[in-house]
């Protein structure tokens, strides 16, 4: 039986399971004399970087991350507009999206922190926190470094402030309205429009399908080479919407190295491995306890339950179809126990 999200009317207001007030004091501190990087404050959170590390501070804890891992995660959080559910930058720091408002935390999804009462969470308006995150990723990214690119295909993030790469860090997530390649929709990628074939996909055929539309049906009889499109992606781990059936969103992406975040979705999310292989480390969403290791080869279909977090590893660049249900009512249904955290019961 198909369970419909629409049938179970969710609340229209923004959910706030922790009942937190909105914090709206932000500050950008001037560039450090030695490193040249600005520091940032959002509520009681402080962010600072030096040549190798990012330093996070909140009233209950301090935390340190390597700057490459931090920037790759921050880049995704920014480009995805905080994405679905929780974006764990690592096992300590992250954000949870409530679609309009965002919880930012240290330790809230880490059993050791929560048990010891060391977790700290503050709530922000999404657009306000986004503004400071965008300024941070812009200031902390040096010339020649692209946090979206696979590490072997870009410069290094280390060292003192050296220019910027605003063109790369201001990319937005591509979202087709109906299907890539339709007139007026997201265009296909070509050499000419700046998307050469990636070196690891040199053997992917670049032919386009035969399309024989009778006059007047050019807007409806339409097809494109999805594998060719993905082989030309200049970014990694950045699902972009390619085809849409109501709330069913095909978000294929090209993957290489490591998913820069541990994604704790607030709903089920499917992975259809289109080519090559990805290993997924699965941990509990609330505690971080390891639960499974999934090996996905070409053709494998796998559901990520709504109560876990996942992080993928792709040794060779691969094509992954991330399949999302964009219905805004699902997170509430799952939190209220009205929908299961698994997608199929058999």
Partner 1 sequence: MTQYTTDFGSLHDYKKGKVGIIDDDPKRYVFSNLFEAAAKAQPWERVAVAKNFEYVIESVRAKGISPWYTAAHDEFVLSMDGKCRVDFVKLDDPDAVVDPESEGAHQLSGDPEGKNMGYVVLGRGHMAMLPVGAAYRFSADEDCTIIIQTIDGPVTVHRWAEICQTEA
Which residues 286-305 are close enough to bind partner 1 by CB under 8 A? 289-305
Element (H, E) at 333: helix 330-335
Give the nearer residue to Fe ion in terms of CB position, either 103 or 269. 269
Residue 300 CB neighbour total at 10 angstroms? 14
Say how many Å lie between the first and final Cα of the chain, rounded: 12
- The count of chain residues that interact with partner 1, using the rule CB under 8 A, is 80
Q: Which does 226 bind (CB under 5 to 8 A by kind): partner 1, Fe ion, none?
A: partner 1
Contact call for residue 188 and partner 1 (CB under 8 A): no
CA gap 263, 308 in Å, rounded: 8
Contact 320, 252 (CB under 8 A): yes
For residue 230, give both structure tokens: 């993905």
Partner in contact with 227, chosen from partner 1, Fe ion, none, beta carbon below 5 to 8 Å by kind: partner 1
In the region spanning residues 33 to 52, those forming contacts with partner 1, defined by CB under 8 A, are none
Find which of partner 1, Fe ion, none residue 192 binds, CB within 5 to 8 Å per kind.
none
* Binding segment toward partner 1, per CB under 8 A, in 2-10, 41-49, 71-79, 94-102: 2-10
- Of 34-42, 50-58, 219-227, 232-240, which segment contacts partner 1 by CB under 8 A? 219-227
Instruction: Give the whole-angstrom CA distance, residue 106 versus residue 92.
Output: 5
**Shortest Å, Cβ 237 to partner 1:** 18
In our burial notation (b when 16+ CB lie closer than 10 A, e otherwise), range 267-280 reads bbbbbbbbbbbbeb
Q: What residues numbered 247-266 form the site for partner 1, per CB under 8 A?
A: 247-248, 250
Q: Which two tokens stand for residue 177?
A: 């309205």
- Contact flag: residue 20 with partner 1 (CB under 8 A): no
Q: How far apart are CB 253 and partner 1 at their closest, in Å?
A: 15
When asked if residue 183 is in the footprint of partner 1 (CB under 8 A), the reply is no
- Contact (Cβ atoms closer than 8 angstroms) between residue 143 and residue 165: yes
Over the window 247 to 286, marking each residue x when it contacts Fe ion by CB under 5 A and - when it does not, the resulting string is ----------------x-----x-----------------
Please, which residue, 261 or 339, has the CB nearer to partner 1?
A: 339
Q: Which is nearer to partner 1, 63 or 338 (CB)?
A: 338
- Residue 177 engages partner 1 in binding (rule: CB under 8 A): no
Strands 120-125 and 61-66: unpaired
Give the nearer residue to Fe ion in terms of CB position, either 58 or 319: 319
263 binding partner (options Fe ion, partner 1, none; Cβ < 5 to 8 Å by kind): Fe ion
- The H or E element containing residue 69 is helix 67-79
CB contact burial 169-178 (16+ within 10 A = b; e otherwise): beeebbebee
According to the binding rule CB under 8 A, does residue 212 interact with partner 1?
A: yes
Q: Give the residue with the Cβ less far from partner 1, 117 or 184.
A: 184
Q: How far apart are CA 138 and CA 148, in angstroms?
A: 13
Near partner 1 by CB under 8 A: residue from 323, 328, 332, 336: 323
Question: Which does residue 184 bind out of Fe ion, partner 1, none, counting CB within 5 to 8 angstroms by kind?
Answer: none
Helix (H) or strand (E) holding 335: helix 330-335
- Crossing angle (nearest 10°) for helices 126-140 and 67-79: 140
């Amino acid at each position: 039986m198909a369970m419909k999200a629409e049938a179970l009317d969710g609340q229209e207001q923004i959910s706030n399971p922790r009942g937190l007030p909105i914090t709206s004091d932000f500050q950008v501190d001037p560039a450090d004399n030695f490193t040249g990087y600005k520091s940032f404050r959002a509520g009681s959170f402080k962010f600072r970087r030096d040549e190798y590390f990012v330093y996070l501070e909140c009233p209950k804890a301090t935390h340190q991350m390597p700057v490459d891992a931090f920037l790759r995660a921050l880049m995704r959080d920014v480009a995805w507009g905080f994405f679905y559910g929780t974006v764990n930058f690592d096992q300590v720091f992250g954000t949870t999206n409530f679609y309009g408002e965002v919880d930012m935390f240290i330790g809230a999804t880490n059993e050791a922190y929560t048990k010891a009462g060391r977790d700290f969470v503050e709530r922000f308006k999404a657009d306000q926190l986004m503004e400071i995150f965008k300024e941070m990723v812009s200031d902390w990214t040096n010339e020649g470094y692209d946090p979206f690119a696979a590490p072997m295909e870009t410069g290094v993030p280390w060292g003192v402030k050296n220019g910027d790469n605003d063109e790369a860090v201001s990319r937005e997530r591509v979202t087709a309205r109906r299907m890539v390649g339709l007139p007026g929709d997201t265009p296909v990628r070509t050499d000419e429009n700046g998307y050469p074939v990636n070196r690891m996909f040199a053997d992917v055929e670049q032919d386009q399908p035969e399309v024989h539309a009778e006059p007047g049906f050019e807007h409806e009889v339409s097809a494109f080479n999805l594998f060719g499109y993905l082989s030309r992606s200049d970014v990694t781990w950045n699902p972009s919407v390619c085809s849409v059936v109501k709330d069913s969103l095909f978000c294929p992406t090209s993957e290489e190295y490591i998913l820069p975040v541990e994604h704790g979705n607030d709903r089920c999310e499917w992975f259809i491995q289109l080519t090559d292989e990805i290993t997924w480390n699965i941990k509990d969403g609330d505690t971080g306890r390891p639960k499974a290791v999934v090996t996905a080869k070409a053709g494998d279909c796998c559901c990520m339950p709504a109560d876990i977090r996942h992080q993928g590893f792709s040794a060779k660049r691969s094509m992954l179809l991330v399949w999302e249900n964009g219905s805004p009512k699902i997170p509430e249904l799952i939190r209220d126990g009205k929908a299961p955290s698994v997608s199929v019961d058999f």
